[in-house]
Amino acid sequence: MQALAADGYRVVGPVERDGVIAYADLGSGDDLPTSVTVEQSPGRWRLHHDDSGHRFGWTPGADSWKQFVYPAHQEVLRIRRTDGSFVVTSPPPAAQPLAFIGARDCEVRAMAVLDRVVLDPLHPDPRYAQRRDGVFVVAVTCGVPAATCWCTSMGGGPQPAAGFDVRLTEVHDAVGHRLVAEAGSDRGAELLLRLEMGAATTDDLAAANGVARAAADGMPRRLDGAALPALLQGTDHHPNWEAVAERCLSCGNCTMVCPTCFCSTFSDHTGLTDDGSAPIETVREQDWASCFQLDHSTLGGHAVRATTKARYRQWLTHKLQTWTAQFGTTGCVGCGRCTTWCPAGIDIVHEAAVLAGLPTAAQPPNSQKGSSA
Amino acid sequence: MSAPTVAVWKFASCDGCQLTIIDCEDELLAIAAALDLRLFLEAGPSELLDHYDISLVEGSITTAHDAERIRDVRERSGLLVTIGACATAGGVQALRNSADVAGYTAAVYARPDWIETLATSTPIADHVQVDLELRGCPISKEVLLSTITALVAGRRPAPTGHSVCVECKAAGNTCVLVAHGTACLGPVTHAGCAALCPSFQRGCFGCFGPSESADVDALHTAWRAAGIADADLLRALRTFNVAAPEFAGGAQRVQLRAKEHA
Ligand code: SF4
Ligand code: SF4
Ligand code: SF4
Ligand code: SF4
């Protein structure tokens, strides 16, 4: 982290705060959560401590890297009236490139999904492009999936396969407690060489792969994610939409925590002048929005998706079905955030399984064949 | 562009929402320049005009006299904007709606026979047409300012009706309901406060009233799953916005389900 900071990066990563794992600016390795484990289930998160000394023994919280490259609130432009004309200015670009410490596989893939949308060649978002450009990614292999995780169903796995500069795996075995680092890019390799750490042995690498394998085997839930777009076709009138709408609060938490949800809304703000003359400056702002808001589907003063049923259906089908046709990728990376952080404990895997007519959505952790337990 | 004439009216209320206007300290000179404040007793101006371009109305209707007076205010007003939980939902004083008002007057006043009051506290919109509502107990300074700047510039003011959760997540807060098991009304409460209480790790207690999609039944199920007592939900629903239909109806159903449960 110090080397990255010295190279001019703004280093951000996990910290323990208010009983959760949040992503914030990091000074040094001391800021990382230590001996933290988390318990996640639909609608519930609890953070615990053990005496392991582990740095990455937890699974991610509501925060995601989206908040750094596609912030919840941002200024888009400013228009200032001058004598007989006006001047438009854009906010200054961020001073430093970002370095993300501890991105999981689902998070690395979520960045690629968001890139595909927000950097669409027809209308790329220049502010996103500027923040995203050159992000240094230090990824981490997951050792212990949460009960809400389902990345292996959505094209991923506990071990990041691409999209990182450095990949860390925390290994704690008979040999000892260590971080195994592997380079994923030239600059990642350059950084690791510069740090002059001891070279990893083949045993170290085997142990790191073993961590990933055990985590994959212990993945608590499986669903055929690739089959979902086809299976969800024609489910518009499935009775389960009513059933889930009974419990859904239309609160929007699921979309806000989803690392790939990109909807946003724009608003203009004018100021006041001390002499009562017409305002001279307008600021245009962009804020995260959600398909659970009435505004989201309001056309000509009328909300097209007026019911919670219609809004939940928009959310689930966009994530798991229509996104694929729209962008050629999945809209969901299987991180489980929407399920943990849903105050009503609505489980997207369970709902999708019911709608798609798939046999099993959730199994208790470590109950599958080949489990590491 | 001449500044619109403005009146600030008070009905049954604590004055806190009017004070929010004065609380705009940094913007006060600009507000005084942008608005032609003709009637605002709390701040000084006391000119009774036949017509004001904008009326800001605080407070609820609790007397027969006020029920008449609000009609007069409506007639004198171009745009009528209600401010605060009292004006938009009847306020905390609407607790009387399901209580024995004569008993209260007897308990509180030495000469209850001198008190003329209605049995209910009702929002302004129950009596006259309201053009815009600003929620909160008290209203938010930011929402007030954005409304004033919009009106002055001729834009449509856009107070959003979504849940506090949307603001809470945008603020990067820890969800106290999911992560701490703390009772939080955020999922059914109207945004506008920038998730003030959850920002300090306290549960939202609904002072902005029901959101556009408030579903108290679904929240009841969620709170029960989090191990929160029905009595806590009833207390939370029956405060500043006790008479808001979604909260009042929701509380009734919570009570029924609690009885079935027992
Ligand atoms: S839909 Fe849910 S599980 Fe999928 S990426 Fe979004 S938050 Fe994660
Ligand atoms: S699921 Fe909803 S909020 Fe998310 S990207 Fe789709 S429409 Fe937008
Ligand atoms: S699914 Fe859950 S998080 Fe999403 S809007 Fe409904 S209640 Fe809120
Ligand atoms: S703390 Fe309350 S307002 Fe914030 S997201 Fe959780 S339930 Fe919603």
User: Which DSSP category does B186 fall into?
Assistant: G
Q: What would the pLDDT profile of A88-125 be if each residue is shown by its tens digit? A: 999 999 989 999 999 999 999 999 999 999 999 999 99
How confident is residue A250, by pLDDT bands cut at 50, 70 and 90?
A: very high
- Please give the residue that has the higher pLDDT: either A360 or B213: B213
Ligand 2 pocket, residue A263 CB under 6 Å: yes
Ligand 4 pocket, residue B195 CB under 6 Å: yes
Contact B221 A343 (CB under 8 A): no
Average pLDDT over chain A, rounded to an integer: 94
Number of Cα atoms under 13 Å in the Cβ half of residue B203: 21
Q: How far apart are CA B183 and CA B228, in angstroms?
A: 7
How confident is residue A364, by pLDDT bands cut at 50, 70 and 90?
A: very low
pLDDT number for residue A335: 98
Ligand 4 pocket, residue A27 CB under 6 Å: no
Residue by residue, DSSP assigns A190-257 as HHHHHHTPPPPPHHHHHHHHHHHHHHHHT-SB---GGGHHHHTTT-TT-THHHHHHHH-----HHHHH
Q: What is the 3-state secondary structure (H, E, C) of B62-85?
A: CCHHHHHHHHHHHHHEEEEEEEHH
Mean pLDDT on A351-356: 96
Q: How far apart are CA B54 and CA B5, in angstroms?
A: 6
Mean pLDDT on A255-271: 95
Share of chain B above pLDDT 90, in %: 94
CA angle A326/A328/A334 to nearest 5° reads: 100
Report CA(A322)–ligand 4 centroid distance (Å).
29
Q: Is A158 helix (H, G, I), strand (E, B) or coil?
A: coil
pLDDT number for residue A372: 32
- Closest CA to ligand 1's atom 2: A338
Q: Is the peptide bond before A343 cis (omega within 30 degrees of 0)?
A: no
Question: Which residues surround ligand 3 with Cβ inside 6 Å?
Answer: A 248-254, 292, 342-344, 346
pLDDT number for residue A277: 83
pLDDT number for residue A370: 32
Mean pLDDT on A274-282: 84
Between A and B, how many residue pairs show a Cβ–Cβ distance under 8 A? Answer: 147
Q: What would the pLDDT profile of B39-62 be if each residue is shown by its tens digit? A: 999 999 999 999 999 999 999 999
Contact A252 B222 (CB under 8 A): no
**CA distance to A342, A343, B86, B101, B105, per residue, from B90 (Å):** 31, 29, 4, 15, 18
Report CA(A263)–ligand 2 centroid distance (Å).
6
What are the two backbone dihedrals, phi and then psi, of residue A203, each rounded to the nearest 5 degrees?
-65, -40
Q: How far apart are CA A372 and CA A212, in angstroms?
A: 10
Ligand 4 pocket mutation, candidates B169, B178, B204, criterion most atoms within 8 A of CB: B204
Mean pLDDT on A50-65: 97
Q: Which of A19, A267, A270 sits opposite B153 (nearest CB)?
A: A270
Report CA(A262)–ligand 2 centroid distance (Å).
6
pLDDT number for residue B212: 97
Query: Phi/psi zone of residue B114: left (φ > 0), alpha (ψ -120 to 50 degrees), beta?
Result: alpha
ipTM: 0.95
Share of chain A above pLDDT 90, in %: 90
Contact A43 B201 (CB under 8 A): no
- Closest CA to ligand 1's atom 7: A258
Whether A373 shows a pLDDT value over 80: the answer reads: no
Residues of B in contact with A252 (CB under 8 A): 162-163, 165-166, 169
Which atom belonging to ligand 2 lies closest to the Cα atom of A117? 5
For tokens 């007519």, the residue is A357
Q: What would the pLDDT profile of A292-334 be if each residue is shown by its tens digit? A: 999 999 998 899 999 999 999 999 999 999 999 999 999 999 9
Q: Which of A81, A249, A254, A307 to mutate to test the interface with B (most CBs of B within 10 A)?
A: A249
Using CA atoms in the order A103, A105, A106, A109, what is the torsion angle rounded to 10 degrees? 90
- Ligand (nearest to CA of B164): 4
Q: Model's pTM, two decimal places?
A: 0.95
Q: Which of A19, A278, A292 sits opposite B1 (nearest CB)?
A: A278
**CA distance to A254, B79, B208, B245, per residue, from B75 (Å):** 46, 10, 28, 27
Q: What is the least distance, in Å, from the CA of B167 to any CA of chain A?
A: 9
Q: What is the least distance, in Å, from the CA of A197 to any CA of chain B?
A: 36
How confident is residue A360, by pLDDT bands cut at 50, 70 and 90?
A: low
Q: What would the pLDDT profile of B106-160 be if each residue is shown by its tens digit? A: 999 999 999 999 999 999 999 999 999 999 999 999 999 999 999 998 888 876 8
Report CA(B161)–ligand 2 centroid distance (Å).
18
pLDDT number for residue B159: 66
Question: Which residues surround ligand 1 with Cβ inside 6 Å?
Answer: A 257-260, 319, 332-338, 348
Q: What would the pLDDT profile of B75-118 be if each residue is shown by its tens digit? A: 999 999 999 999 999 999 999 999 999 999 999 999 999 999 99
Q: Which of A272, A277, A311, A339 to mutate to test the interface with B (most CBs of B within 10 A)?
A: A272
Q: What is the least distance, in Å, from the CA of B151 to any CA of chain A?
A: 10
Can you list the domains of chain B with their CATH numbers?
5-152 (3.40.50.700), 164-260 (no CATH)
Q: Which of B153, B169, B213 sits opposite A279 (nearest CB)?
A: B153
Ligand 2 pocket mutation, candidates A118, A250, A255, criterion most atoms within 8 A of CB: A255
Q: Which of A17, A274, A287 sits opposite B170 (nearest CB)?
A: A287
Q: What is the 3-state secondary structure (H, E, C) of A289-356?
A: CCCCCHHHHEECCEECCCCHHHHHHHHHHHHHHHHHHHHCCCCCCCCCHHHHCCCCCCCHHHHHHHHH
Contact A276 B33 (CB under 8 A): yes
Q: What would the pLDDT profile of B233-260 be if each residue is shown by its tens digit? A: 999 999 999 999 999 999 999 999 999 8
pLDDT number for residue A324: 96
Whether A274 shows a pLDDT value over 90: the answer reads: no
Q: Which of B30, B177, B211 sits opposite A274 (nearest CB)?
A: B30
